[in-house]
């Protein structure tokens, strides 16, 4: 997961997402670098428009803050995110085989 985070950080900072840069970010975090995983990630991201992928990613909505004292609490319906989470996990697992 740290490799994906490194790639996202590099992209956010408008730096090139390449093997050397991803390895440097992972090393700086204190984690051990697996060169095969770095190479696989960079190769998988070569044809990906990261901005479009981020826009298409499912977003989990944070729970609303607790109701203020004296206000009636509305009953909230649970949101079913299982399908979108499964799709997201399938996409991530395809990066690492």
- The DSSP code sequence of 37-78 is HHHHHHHHHTT--HHHHHHHS--PPPPPPPPPTTSPPPPPPP
- Find, among 16, 75, 18, 11, the residue nearest to 42 by Cα: 18
- Model confidence, pTM: 0.58
Range of the domain at 92: 2-96
CATH of the domain at 17: 1.10.10.1410
**Which pLDDT does position 61 carry in this prediction?**
72
What is the per-residue pLDDT across 34-86, written as a single tens digit (0 to 9) for each? 999 999 999 999 988 988 888 888 877 776 666 555 555 566 666 655 566 66
- Find, among 60, 48, 62, 59, the residue nearest to 8 by Cα: 48
Domains of the chain: total: 1
Neighbours of 41 (CB within 10 A): 20
């Amino acid at each position: 997961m740290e490799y994906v985070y490194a790639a996202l950080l590099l992209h956010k900072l408008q730096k090139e997402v390449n093997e050397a840069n991803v390895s440097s970010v992972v090393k700086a975090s204190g984690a051990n670098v697996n060169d095969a995983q770095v190479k696989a990630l960079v190769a998988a991201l070569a044809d990906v428009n990261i901005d479009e992928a981020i826009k298409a990613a499912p977003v989990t909505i944070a729970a609303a803050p607790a109701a203020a004292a004296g206000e009636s609490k509305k009953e909230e319906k649970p949101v079913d995110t299982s399908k979108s989470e499964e799709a997201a996990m399938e996409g991530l697992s395809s990066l690492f085989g």
